[in-house]
Amino acid sequence: MKELTIEQKIFLLDSIRDVENFPKPGIIFKDITTLLNNKIAFSLLMNHLEARYKDMELDYIAGIDSRGFIFGAALACKLGIGFVPIRKKGKLPSTTICEKYELEYGFDEVEIHFDAFEEKIGARVLLIDDLIATGGTAKASAKLITDTKAKLVESCFIIHLSFLDGKQKLEKLAPVYSILDI
């Protein structure tokens, strides 16, 4: 199941709830909790991701704080490989490297343990998160992976907001795969 049918994509999209005016007025938030608690939808999604990535010889999956942890850890388990969290600044307990990125009004930072990939030069890594919008967090996370001397094989997102340019920005660093383009 390396490719989803249109019907399967519609089913997954229908399992995601829209929440209007969250986190602020005018925003329509894509709530994946309804996909997660739908055992058929979540299983379909994870089986699809397993089929897509099982032959890519990945060493690790890196998930972006926090919803990327859910998909990344589940997929790493299915593939029998390690999972690495990329967290917001100040959340990891050991020595880290960090990357700053621009927000609409200011800056934020993400970080990774400096030895996240066990200092394996060239470790093959998949970056995953639930959604890509403007791409700031994803681009900073991708840079962290390459700063550890690992190879970013691909970035994967469940949802791509195609009216924003995040995917195009990230494609300059590595291939990007999105399941649902909105």
DSSP helix/strand/coil, 43: helix
| CATH (domain of 69) | 3.40.50.2020
Longest CA pairwise span in the chain (Å): 46
On whether residue 14 sits in a domain, the answer given is: no
On whether residue 29 sits in a domain, the answer given is: no
On whether residue 113 sits in a domain, the answer given is: yes
d(CA 171, CA 86): 19
Per-residue pLDDT of the chain (182 residues; tens, 9 = 90+): 679 999 999 999 999 999 999 999 999 999 999 999 999 999 999 999 999 999 999 999 999 999 999 999 999 999 999 999 999 999 999 999 999 998 767 799 999 999 999 878 899 999 999 999 999 999 999 999 999 999 999 999 999 999 999 999 999 999 999 999 99
On whether residue 18 sits in a domain, the answer given is: no
On whether residue 15 sits in a domain, the answer given is: no
On whether residue 42 sits in a domain, the answer given is: no
Number of domains the chain is built from: 1
Residue 60: which domain range? 55-181
d(CA 139, CA 22): 24
Contact 99, 64 (CB under 8 A): no
pTM above 0.85, yes or no: yes
* pLDDT at position 122: 95
DSSP helix/strand/coil, 37: coil
On whether residue 48 sits in a domain, the answer given is: no
Task: Tell me how far apart the terminal alpha carbons of the chain are, to the nearest angstrom.
Answer: 22
Contact 108, 90 (CB under 8 A): no
On whether residue 135 sits in a domain, the answer given is: yes
